[in-house]
Copies of this chain bind each other. A is one copy, B any other.
Amino acid sequence: MTKYKVKFLPDDKEVEVAGGITLLEAAEKADIYINSLCGGEGLCGECRLQVTGGKARADKNAIGFFSKEEIQNGYVLACQTRVEDNLEVVVPAKSRLEKEKIITEGVPLTYSEPESISLYRRPADPASFFEPLVSKVYLELREPTLDDNIADIDRITRELSKKTRYSSFEISLACLQNLAAKLRQHKWHVTATVARHNGIGRILQIEGGDTTNQNYGLAVDVGTTTVVVQLVNLKTGKVIGVEGSHNRQARYGEDVISRMVFACSRGSLDPVHEAVIANINTLTQALSRQTGIDTKDIISIVAAGNTTMSHFLLGLMPCSIRLEPYVPTTTIYPQILARDIGIDINPQGILEVIPSVASYVGGDIVAGVLACGLADKQEVQCLIDVGTNGEIAIGNNDWIVCCSASAGPAFEGGGSKWGMRATKGAMEKIEIKDGQVTYEIVGKARPRGICGSGLIDAIYELARNRIIGQDGKFNCGR
């Protein structure tokens, strides 16, 4: 197949690509992210590029998006234009997917707010609820004798049932296959890696010697727009690194609905599935480089996302989620080997996806409810998760109700006049004190609009200062 060179300006990035792929795909290869709200269907007209060198074959249906002058100046839609020559292409700022603010750390709430509308509260002592999915247990076993010649694995589980809260265990064949030699070679001093699985202990690996210090896990937030990975020391519970990036699925559609349409219309979710796997692998490798921790010492992953993202992650077709009566394939996801879906950690390492509740109440909100302790107290609390999809959960240790809506469009462009995504120039924090308004802008830039978190801040501050009432109306008489 013929190869062509495509140079992107003003980035001055050049990639070599196979002839026939779209400019959108070529840009992705050059790590340049282009707006593609419709998922490359040629419908939204957001991915405009200017071809300034070489000849590009543009789809005729796309010309409706351009003026005669623009066409003469080489303007094309990236998703509808195939590379059949060496090209030079200019990416206008407007077509560029701006680097959004990816929240990779919990921001402690510093101002004092009434208890009843606290949005997010971390438990006082993280250690008190730290119960990792996978733990490592070092065992110094007694050598077998004629009076005590139980099977090798029984010798291990006999000790494990004393040192863990599991009374029964499940052992993979891989784990048994070289066990006898390993135990004898290491003089019966070994470390067992045990995962929680339906209430029983799933023994993932037996290593020689004491390896309890090499026990790491990943916490993955699979957002529609961004993917964030935390590297966690599972012995101490300490987060030792965090990395985030755009969800590479964005090229197949901006929101979950257009990604579902993309996958279901072509009858395969492979590209969408592989995109998020590539995200996780890239972030994991970056964390491994930063911290010097071998990916082979990462033995578990817990991932949370909305129901559609969880389906994409595991390769489950989400078509019926989109259409009435809105049915997912499953809400409880099987614990699998991470390598089974192409994630590169320890070969025996597992992946567990936080269960969803329904098609539009996903594992992300379940994880949020767990983390902020909403279900632990009698007091009624409220959790608001404003992502591209937004959920609100209200409840206590007895009941919880939850609803969800497309929050991105509602808060950040669709429903509010000055709404915008949390990119450069968005007002993200607002405070009203003694009649004075202070605010913070993403990228410390000139304000261009207000993003979701800014909007919620504004409403909260207006209510706290009694400028609006409980009915949401301005207190004009005041």
Q: Check A320 against B184 for contact (C-beta < 8 Å).
A: yes
Check if A149 is an interface residue, CB within 8 A of chain B.
yes
Q: Check A340 against B173 for contact (C-beta < 8 Å).
A: yes
Nearest B residue (CB) for A341: B173
Query: How far is B358's CA from A200's CA once the two chains are assembled, in angstroms?
Result: 24
- How close is A21's CB to chain B, nearest CB, in angstroms? 27
- How close is A255's CB to chain B, nearest CB, in angstroms? 20
B residues near A325, Cβ cutoff 8 Å: 144-146, 148-149
Query: How far is B331's CA from A200's CA once the two chains are assembled, in angstroms?
Result: 19
Check if A176 is an interface residue, CB within 8 A of chain B.
yes
Query: How far is B387's CA from A15's CA once the two chains are assembled, in angstroms?
Result: 69
Q: Check A329 against B173 for contact (C-beta < 8 Å).
A: no
Scan A345-373; emit 1 where CB is below 8 A from any B CB, else 0: 00000000000001100000000000000
Nearest B residue (CB) for A146: B325
Query: How far is B334's CA from A314's CA once the two chains are assembled, in angstroms?
Result: 25
- How close is A324's CB to chain B, nearest CB, in angstroms? 7
Q: Check A151 against B331 for contact (C-beta < 8 Å).
A: yes
User: Which A residues between 139 and 188 are near B, CB-CB below 8 angstroms?
Assistant: 144-146, 148-154, 168, 170-173, 176-181, 184
User: Which A residues between 429 and 478 are near B, CB-CB below 8 angstroms?
Assistant: none
Q: Check A329 against B176 for contact (C-beta < 8 Å).
A: yes
Q: Check B198 against A152 for contact (C-beta < 8 Å).
A: no
Q: A176-B316, A181-B319, A336-B173 are in contact. Are A151 and B198 (CB under 8 A)?
A: no
- How close is A260's CB to chain B, nearest CB, in angstroms? 12
B residues near A336, Cβ cutoff 8 Å: 173
Nearest B residue (CB) for A152: B329
Check if A330 is an interface residue, CB within 8 A of chain B.
yes
Q: Check B151 against A328 for contact (C-beta < 8 Å).
A: yes
Check if A326 is an interface residue, CB within 8 A of chain B.
yes
Check if A427 is an interface residue, CB within 8 A of chain B.
no
- How close is A8's CB to chain B, nearest CB, in angstroms? 37
Query: How far is B198's CA from A251's CA once the two chains are assembled, in angstroms?
Result: 44
Q: A316-B176, A317-B180 are in contact. Are A330 and B149 (CB under 8 A)?
A: no
Check if A63 is an interface residue, CB within 8 A of chain B.
no
B residues near A200, Cβ cutoff 8 Å: 198
Q: A317-B178, A329-B151 are in contact. Are A173 and B334 (CB under 8 A)?
A: yes
Nearest B residue (CB) for A197: B170
Query: How far is B331's CA from A328's CA once the two chains are assembled, in angstroms?
Result: 41
Q: Check A170 against B330 for contact (C-beta < 8 Å).
A: no
Check if A375 is an interface residue, CB within 8 A of chain B.
no
Q: Check A180 against B324 for contact (C-beta < 8 Å).
A: no
Q: Check B144 against A334 for contact (C-beta < 8 Å).
A: no
Check if A315 is an interface residue, CB within 8 A of chain B.
yes
Check if A327 is an interface residue, CB within 8 A of chain B.
yes
Query: How far is B177's CA from A315's CA once the two chains are assembled, in angstroms?
Result: 6
B residues near A319, Cβ cutoff 8 Å: 180-181
Q: Check B152 against A330 for contact (C-beta < 8 Å).
A: yes
User: Which A residues between 302 and 337 are near B, CB-CB below 8 angstroms?
Assistant: 314-320, 324-332, 334, 336
Q: Check B151 against A330 for contact (C-beta < 8 Å).
A: yes
- How close is A288's CB to chain B, nearest CB, in angstroms? 25
Query: How far is B297's CA from A212's CA once the two chains are assembled, in angstroms?
Result: 45
Q: A144-B325, A180-B316, A181-B317 are in contact. Are A331 and B154 (CB under 8 A)?
A: yes
Query: How far is B324's CA from A328's CA once the two chains are assembled, in angstroms?
Result: 56
- How close is A138's CB to chain B, nearest CB, in angstroms? 21
User: Which A residues between 71 and 115 are near B, CB-CB below 8 angstroms?
Assistant: none
Q: Check B314 against A151 for contact (C-beta < 8 Å).
A: no
Q: Check B153 against A330 for contact (C-beta < 8 Å).
A: yes
5 extra interface residue pairs, beta carbon distance < 8 Å, beyond A150-B327, A173-B341: A146-B324, A152-B327, A154-B331, A171-B334, A180-B327
A interface residues with partner B (beta carbon < 8 Å)? 144-146, 148-154, 168, 170-173, 176-181, 184, 198, 200, 314-320, 324-332, 334, 336, 340-341, 358-359
Query: Can you list 28 A-B contacts with CB-CB less than 8 angstroms, sorted by A residue number?
Result: A144-B327, A145-B325, A146-B325, A149-B327, A150-B327, A151-B327, A151-B328, A151-B329, A151-B330, A152-B320, A152-B327, A152-B329, A153-B329, A153-B332, A154-B330, A154-B331, A172-B334, A173-B314, A173-B315, A173-B340, A176-B316, A176-B330, A177-B314, A177-B315, A177-B316, A180-B318, A180-B327, A198-B200
